[in-house]
Amino acid sequence: MSIPSVVARQPAEEVHSSSFARDVIEGLTARPKRLPPKYFYDETGSRLFEEITELPEYYPTRCELAILRAHATDMARLLPPKTALIEFGSGSSKKVRLLIDAAPAIAAYVPVDISAQWLNEEAARLRRDYPRLTVLPVAADFTQAFRLPRSVAALAPAGFFPGSTIGNFEAHQACAFLQHAARILGEDAILIVGIDLVKDPKILNAAYNDAAGVTAKFNLNLLARINRELGADFDLASFCHQAFYNRERARIEMHLASRVRQQVVVCGRTIEFRAGETIHTENSYKYTVESFGALARGCGWTPVDAWTDADGYFSVQALRAAK
Ligand code: AVJ
Is the shortest distance between the CB of 282 and ligand 1 below 6 Å? yes
Whether the CB-CB separation of 295 and 287 falls below 8 Å is answered with yes
Q: How far apart are CA 13 and CA 219, in angstroms?
A: 24
Number of the ligand 1 atom closest to the C-alpha atom of 164? 3
Q: Is the pLDDT of residue 17 over 90?
A: no
- Identify the residue whose C-alpha is closest to ligand 1 atom 5: 284
Residue 264, burial from CB neighbour count under 10 angstroms (0-12, 13-18, 19+)? buried
89 in contact with ligand 1, CB cutoff 6 A: no
55 pLDDT tier (thresholds 50, 70, 90): very high
Separation of alpha carbons 65 and 209, rounded Å: 22
Query: For atom 1 of ligand 1, which residue has the closest CA?
Result: 165
- The predicted-structure confidence for 93-130, as pLDDT tens digits, reads as follows 999 999 999 999 999 999 999 888 889 999 999 999 99
Region 44-68 average pLDDT: 97
Task: Output the average pLDDT for the chain.
Answer: 93
Residue 115, CB half-sphere, CA atoms under 13 Å: how many? Answer: 18
Q: d(Cα 125, Cα 285) in Å, to the nearest integer? A: 33
Number of H helices, E strands in the chain: 9, 15
For ligand 1, the distance from its centroid to the CA atom of residue 128, given in whole angstroms, is 30
Closest-CA residue, ligand 1 atom 4, reads 284
Ligand 1 centre to CA of 124 (Å) is 27
From the CB of 164, is ligand 1 less than 6 Å away? yes
Distance 242 CA to ligand 1 centre (A): 14
Mean pLDDT of 66-86: 98
Q: Is the backbone peptide bond immediately before 32 cis, with ω within 30 degrees of 0?
A: yes
pLDDT for 143 equals 84
pLDDT tens digits, residue range 231-241? 999 999 999 99
For 71, half-sphere exposure in the C-beta direction (CA atoms, 13 angstrom radius) is: 20
pLDDT of amino acid 6: 40
Q: Which residue owns the Cα nearest ligand 1 atom 14? A: 165
Could you identify the atom of ligand 1 that is nearest to the CA of residue 49? Answer: 6
pLDDT in tens, 247-298: 999 999 999 999 999 999 999 999 999 999 999 999 999 999 999 999 999 9
Ligand 1 lined by 285 (C-beta under 6 Å) = no
Instruction: Report which protein residue has its CA nearest ligand 1's atom 13.
Output: 165
Instruction: Please tell me whether the overall predicted TM-score, pTM, comes out greater than 0.85 for this model.
Output: yes
Separation of 148 CA from ligand 1 center, angstroms? 27
Position 16 pLDDT exceeds 80: no
